[in-house]
Structure 1
């Protein structure tokens, strides 16, 4: 399944048919979503039953996990028709004014609701929406997406004031995380986390809200169990991101937990869960990685080129098979440096191939040549298989 090309939502629907009873209740779903990092806004994995042929980017994992969480929230509520689910999710985002599309989006997206939902969910995931910003900014993925799941639960329960509820949850989430940050010594990573959270806000503005502690009165009046569980986990995430928990921070967490109405065993469990998540995923959590600008640029561009190769593997294989000389030169490049004449041949022949594949047009734009060394380095390792990842096989419907 490829969440970066059209048809992935319908593909998920065909795959999930064999796993309809995976989560008998919301507790089981929530626990799984925490282990995957989706609750924390740091997606490290996706559902086990989804088979992949290559690794996914952070935003692709977030897309799958969001759809997965929404679908099983619908299933637990008693829904059983996938097409109805898609229609309801689209209606849900419409109520929240998130489903608005521009003229070109409407023109190119298609008329099917699933196609429109794919476009909508892509815009929901991203904070930055242009390639330059994504290249130089690791804080690009919405970290508060689990709020959508909480709101969808209210939607399914016929809640009549969704936007007001959305503002309330975001207000409490951002206040708790800021209060948690102030309970410890602020460092550079703390600032990166606060930037990520603030840039993920959809319904409120940091500039228009105060962080004076008055939010705790709202906590005492909030009786929604799963909202409170989420808020507790976000507080634990915030104090644990520096891999330590001193006495002051522990006191803060237990104070918040008591305000939210939880017993000490639940609070301790929340701390343990986030501790285990960090131990397993500290090396892949984007905002904890400190890199210089040149290294960040090279790695970001490498990921972009890798994705482009994988997503166009079938057409690339076909085009390359027609150029024996190019294949020979690419093979040589893995063993020795090419001569200037050979490099020129590779560049010219690759650019001819890129002209025939629209999604690789980035290489023929001004400055696109700087990506060619990355392409040449990656292609021998990434090209061998070619397939349509979102094709729905008939046996999947059995």
Structure 2
């Protein structure tokens, strides 16, 4: 399965048919989502039954985890039909007015609901709409996506004031993390975590005074167990970010846990879970990494271009095979610098090809030409490994037919 190519939601639907009992209740689902980092907004893993052909980036893991969490929330509630699930999720996001997918969404949106949902979910994963500016910031994924899952639970239970509930959960989550940060000595990584959380807000504005003065009252009156578990885990994430927990921080965590109505054992379990997550994943957590800005830009752009080549390798190979001159120039570029005239030819012919492949629209946007040298450098090494990861096999089709 390839979550960066069209058809990945339907592919997930065919795969999950064989794993309907993977998460029998929300408790099992929640703990799995914590283990994968999705609850913490730091995606390091995906469900065991998903077998991607490519090494996944964090945003691709986030896509899979979000869809998987929403699907099994739907199933645990009693839902069965996958097409109905897709329709329900799309309607859910429409109610929350999260249905604007920007330039890429307008360019690529299909007629099927699953195709529209793919673009919408991509817009939920990324903090910024500008893919170029994202390369200057390693914190590229929305860290508060689990709130969508909590809201979807309410939606399935026919909760009336869904938008207001969204604002309240975000408000409590961000204020808990801010209070957790104030309970410890602030360092540079704390500031990065704070920026990550603030930039992930969807439903409220940090400068909005709508809830001022009511933070603790709202916390004490919060009765939903899974909302409260999430808020406790966010507090634990914040104080454990620097791999230590002093007396002051411990006092804060147990105070928050008590306010949320949890026994000491539940609070200790939350601390243990986040400790284990950090120990296993500290090397790959994006906001803990420091890089020279120029190197970060080049590395980020390289990853983006590499992914685009891999995801569209079949079509690229077909298009390139029809341009002998372009192939010859690309081959020359691996051995010597091209002349200005040759570079211009390569650029013009590549841009013509990109216009015929919607997924490569990034190259024809203003500023997209700066990616061409990276593309030219990578393409000889990456192009031959082409395949379609989202093809639904005959066996999958037969499984769905039997299931229905």
Deviation at 1:60, TM superposition (A): 1.8
Matched, 1:339 2:329: no
* Structure 2 Cα separation of the partners of residues 377 and 353 of structure 1: 13
Q: CA deviation at 1:329?
A: 7.4
Instruction: Give 1:221's aligned residue.
Output: 221
Structure 2 unaligned spans of 5+: 400-404
- Mark the CA change 1:371 to 1:133 in structure 2 (over 3 Å): closer, same or farther: closer
Distance 1:186 1:211 in 2: 25
Distance 1:258 1:136 in 2: 40
- Correspondence list, 1:114-133, <5 A: 114-133=114-133
Cα pair distance change 1:157/1:361, threshold 3 Å: closer
Q: Is the contact between residue 354 and residue 363 of structure 2 (CA under 8 Å) also seen in structure 1?
A: no
Q: CA deviation at 1:330?
A: 4.9
Q: For 1:204-353, what aligned pairs fall within 5 Å after superposition?
A: 204-209=204-209, 214-319=214-319, 326=327, 330=331, 333=334, 338-340=335-337, 348=345, 352-353=349-350
CA distance in 1, matches of 2:390, 2:110: 17
TM-score by length of 1: 0.89
- Asked if 1 retains the 8 angstrom alpha-carbon contact of 2:326 and 2:346, the reply is no
Q: TM-score, normalised by structure 2?
A: 0.88
Give the alignment of 1:170-189 within 5 angstroms.
170-189=170-189
Return 5+ residue gaps in structure 1 as ranges. none
1:355 alignment counterpart:
352
Deviation, structure 1 residue 218: 1.8
Residue 262 of structure 1 and its aligned partner are, at CA, apart by 1.1
- CA apart distance, 1:149: 0.5
* Alignment check: 8 A CA contact 1:326 1:346 kept: no
Query: Could you say what secondary structure the match of 2:230 adopts?
Result: helix
SS in structure 1 opposite 2:307?
A: helix
In structure 2, the CA distance between the partners of 1:372 and 1:344, relative to structure 1 (3 Å rule), is farther
What is the aligned partner in structure 2 of residue 62 from structure 1?
Answer: 62
State the 1:326 CA deviation. Answer: 4.8
Q: Is the 8 A contact 1:355 1:361 kept in 2?
A: no
Bigger drift between 2-11 and 254-263 goes to 2-11
Shift of 1:130: 1.3
Shift of 1:348: 4.8
102-111 or 133-142, which deviates more: 102-111
- The 3-state SS of whatever aligns with 1:140 is coil
Q: Is the counterpart of residue 76 in structure 1 residue 73 in structure 2?
A: no
Structure 1 stretch 175-184 or stretch 100-109: which is displaced more? 100-109
- CA deviation after TM superposition for structure 1 residue 224, in Å: 0.8
Tell me, in whole angstroms, the C-alpha distance in 2 between the residues paired with 1:200 and 1:300: 20
The C-alpha deviation readout for 1:267-295, integer Å capped at 9, x for no partner, is 11111111111111112211111112111
Check conservation: 1:180, 1:249, Cα contact below 8 A: yes
8 Å Cα contact 2:101-2:123 kept in structure 1: no
The farther-off stretch of 324-333 and 250-259 is: 324-333
> 2:137 aligned with 1:137, yes or no?
yes
Q: 4+ residue stretches of structure 1 with deviation over 6 A? A: 101-104, 210-213, 342-347, 364-367
Which residue does 2:402 correspond to in 1?
none
DSSP-derived class of the 1:208 partner = coil
Between 1:320-329 and 1:152-161, the stretch displaced more is 320-329
Distance in 1, matches of 2:365 and 2:121, equals 28
Q: Name the Cα RMSD after superposition.
A: 2.8
SS at match of 1:282: helix
The whole-number CA distance in structure 1 between the counterparts of 2:105 and 2:316 is: 27
**Aligned residues of 1:355 and 1:364 also touching (Cα < 8 A):** no
SS in structure 1 at match of 2:80 = coil
1:301 Cα offset (Å): 0.8
| SS state at 1:207 partner | coil
After TM superposition, the structure 1 stretch with the greater mean CA deviation from structure 2, 223-232 or 303-312, is: 303-312
Q: Which residue of 1 aligns with 2:391?
A: 391
State how far apart, in whole Å, the 2-side matches of 1:158 and 1:369 are. 48
Q: Post-superposition shift, 1:249? A: 0.7
Q: Which residue of 1 aligns with 2:149?
A: 149
**Alignment length (residue pairs):** 394
Distance between the aligned counterparts of 2:32 and 2:60, measured in 1?
18
Q: Distance in 2 between matches of 1:363 and 1:103?
A: 13
Cα pair 2:170 2:201 within 8 Å, conserved: yes
| Larger CA deviation: 101-110 vs 182-191 | 101-110
SS of 1:39's equivalent?
coil
**Does the CA contact (< 8 Å) of 1:13 and 1:82 recur in 2?**
yes
